[in-house]
Amino acid sequence: MKAFQNALVYVGGEGLKKTNLLFGERIVEIGGEIDGAEVVSLPENAVVLPGFIDEHIHGAGGADAMDASEEALATIANAVAAEGTTGFLATTMTQSKENITAALAAVASYRKKNAKDGARVLGVHLEGPFIAAAHKGAQPLEYVAAPDPAVFDEYYAASGESIKIVTLAPEEKGGDVLVAHLAKLGVTASIGHTGAKTADVLCAVENGATNVTHTYNAQSPLHHREIGTVGSALLYDCLNCELIADTIHVSVPAMKLLAKCKPKGKLTLITDAMRAKGLPDGESELGGQRVIVKNGEARLSDGTLAGSVLRMNYAIRNLTQKVGVPFTDAVDCATIVPARTLKIDGEVGSIQVGKCADFAVLDENFEVVCTVRGGNVIYRR
């Protein structure tokens, strides 16, 4: 049994409080005595938060989910532990059916081994290939495909039924059918890489779509005569919105607008990071495409943004310091909100007795002191 002693803890339903926290693989007691427990020492200025959950990340530490290997997934899992992340969705991209299937099979195999080091691979975010060519962003055009429930089912089987989110363009032929199919399976349909108009978004919502992929990016913008995907994301409270809060993909005023429009619990921080995260600036790769990383920006040779190198602890810092979101609300955007999207909020996402002992411990500068997953320290500064 381990314990944090007289630490500042973000307790689910109570807020920040100085308390003892006793845990094994799960949280045993909040408050009370910790006699006999192994005390995990923390600096005086530390705050204990729920472990972060990144529902949209392609890679880190030189590895990518599309590398289709258990080694790559382990590299990503260990790299993101350094930013307080204890669980993530290995995110694929628009590629050949063979390459996507291989990546999904690697996730299924890795998850079966239940590795104890690094963050958990909670499943898959299938970003494409069911997207709109005109809004492909950094996704390879030649592999864009029409939404197809039969093809999805093949992917779902290859993943060991671990696909949790699918990014798709609902306005494409067959999009409404695929959204309804995903809803029936309990998989989150996320509107993204899309030219959807308001009517398309509303149709998708009626069929079961609940999420918007990296809001503002690679989707139809707001116009005063047709509010498009961006305007619909801002307007409709039922839609949960992903946000890359790096101030590069989305400006600070745009982040402020999104935070102002969305009800509490409907904004999710993501990193959408690619393999170059955690590495020095220079040349990298995304889906077979050359990427140049410079000054925190990852771009294709034509200037198109190609994912980010954002760390989740810095996303929380940006949302707090630059957007003005209260600290614990910003933390919720990286913990309990994605946990609800993935339907695992009974296990993770907040610090409550009985939940997994997953913690991100930050200092006053939002730097990670240590990360704990299932009661084991998986990163220490």
Residue 158 contacts residue 103 (beta carbons within 8 Å)? no
Decide: helix, strand or coil at residue 11: strand
Long-range contacts of 325-330 (CB under 8 A, 24+ apart): 325/259, 328/10, 328/15, 328/16, 329/264, 330/269
Residue 18's φ and ψ, nearest 5 degrees, are: -80, 125
Question: Does residue 147 have a cis peptide bond before it, meaning omega lies within 30 degrees of 0?
Answer: no
DSSP β-ladder status, 289-294 and 297-300: antiparallel
Q: Taking each helix axis as running N to C, give the angle between helix 175-185 and helix 149-158, from 0 to 180 degrees, rounded to the nearest 10.
A: 40
Which pair of structure tokens corresponds to residue 43?
């600096």
Distance CA 204, CA 175 (A): 8
Q: Six-digit token pair at 110? A: 């890795």
Spatial CA neighbour of 278 closest among 233, 237, 313, 243: 313
Give the Å distances, CA to CA, from 367 to 49, 336, 357. Answer: 12, 20, 20
Selection from 177, 243, 186, 184 nearest residue 212 by Cα = 243
For residue 189, how many C-alpha atoms fall within 13 Å in the half-sphere facing its CB?
Answer: 29
Contact 203, 194 (CB under 8 A): no
> What is the distance between the alpha carbons of residues 150 and 155, in angstroms, rounded to a whole number?
9
Residue numbers annotated as active site:
272
